[in-house]
Amino acid sequence: MELERVEGGLCAVKGVRAYGIKEGKNGLALIEGKGKAIGMFTSNKIKAAPVRFTMRQLEAREGRISAIIANSGCANSFTGERGMRNAEKMAELASSSLGVDKEEVAVASTGPIGKQVDMGLIEKQLGEVAKRLTADEEGSMTAAKAIMTTDTFHKERAISIGAGDEERVMIGGIAKGSGMIFPHLGLSNATMLSFIYTDVSLDAEALKRCFKDAVDNSFNMIVVDGDMSTNDMVLLVSTGGGGEISEGDFRDGLNFVCTELAKLIARDGEGATKFIEVRVKGAASVGDAREIAKAIVRSPLVKSAIFGERPDLTCGRIIATIGSSAIGDVDPDSISISIKSEGHRAVLVARKGEFVDLSGAARDIMKGKEIFIDADMGKGEREATAWGCDLSYDYVKINAG
């Protein structure tokens, strides 16, 4: 089974049209594509009105979606009953523009918390966006740009899966996210949003299994700053009508797209100067591996040391983080750590309970823009990978307002 990267993002999937507009800090994206839908949402106890509204929509129609309307510039979070009415009004406006059932419209928002949505602006922008919906690459690109907040670039990916001359299955998606990124998405963070479409023909339970696996391995493994948004949302919509592939092949493809989008978010962390990948292997369980990997990439001390290009401080803080985050017992004498960056081979920096020489090659590696850390726990065969970025002066400047 071949996996081929293609252009077009969302619009690579037949039957999907999109467009977006951005005016200053305020943007609006509209996506049309009918099919079975699954959502995963923030675990924050205070969920924004669009999150609660969309969860209700999916439940009401047993997971069927015809359109998504998403705005940037206002999170519509902590906005009381008026906020919920505005989320519903956004769905009504999209429904009227597209001629679809209001109960099959999902709503998403991103931006400052505690601010009411400017519905006059939403209505004005929607009038422009709706008449420019397109299945061309431009549709996906403009929609991805419309939902950006502190993002410095738009994020989209698409692939086709198939064998030989058979009809291929398409998976395409867009995402946004730069700060307030520490997603903990479950079935039932600026914000992390992602909308993914596919034409695969799989039953709802198979889609749900693949989606949960992909999100757990991707979006739930990125950390920019350790703060969880009230608005995090990932939606998967399957229009059907594509080629037939196995559940396993679709799962692999969906994992690829979600991981690519997640890594783009990590690379675009607010104020980031370096991309960080942490792989923890040799763990007793996948849960242990995930917890340790996320803890390392979440640590302000580790992130600051990487920004400062200090291998000695970085490694010492990694060790402290491992000890404080591990679920089970840790044997210091079993831990080994290596680091590498683009253009440099991996260098062993810790072995059998003590550090190896942290000068020379290790210092050169820390000057790279992509830092890869491998931590072997020496306890088993399970592993996990997390992604994030360093913590720079600019992050504080951005979030100080």
pLDDT digits (tens, 9 = 90+) for 249-262: 999 999 999 999 99
Tens of pLDDT, residue by residue over 261-302, are: 999 999 998 899 999 999 999 999 999 999 999 999 999 999
Q: What is the CA radius of gyration of the chain?
A: 21
Tens of pLDDT, residue by residue over 51-95, are: 999 999 999 888 999 999 999 999 999 999 999 999 999 999 999
- The answer on pLDDT for 113 being more than 60 is yes
- The answer on pLDDT for 190 being more than 80 is no
pLDDT band of 189, cuts 50, 70, 90? very low
How much is the pLDDT for 188? Answer: 41
> Quick one: tokens of 279?
């792989």
How much is the pLDDT for 398? Answer: 86
Calculate what percentage of the chain has a pLDDT beyond 70: 96
* One-letter amino acid of 57: Q
| Mean pLDDT rounded to a whole number for the chain | 93
- Domains of the chain by range and CATH? 2-265 (3.60.70.12), 275-399 (3.10.20.340)
Interval 309-325 mean pLDDT: 94
Known active-site residue 142: no
Q: Out of 191, 198, 259, 314, pick the active-site residue.
A: 191
Interval 103-116 mean pLDDT: 97
Dihedral sign, Cα of residue 43, residue 203, residue 241, residue 5: positive
Asked if residues 309 and 363 have their Cβ atoms less than 8 Å apart, the reply is yes
Please report the beta strands in 145-288, taking only residues with DSSP state E, as ranges in sequence order.
155-162, 169-176, 185-186, 193-198, 222-223, 233-238, 275-283
Pairing of strands 193-198, 233-238: parallel
Tens of pLDDT, residue by residue over 142-187, are: 999 999 999 999 999 999 998 766 789 999 999 999 765 556 676 5
Interval 339-343 mean pLDDT: 93
The model's pTM is: 0.94
How much is the pLDDT for 61? Answer: 84
Tens of pLDDT, residue by residue over 194-253, are: 999 999 999 999 999 999 999 999 999 999 877 789 999 999 999 998 888 999 999 999
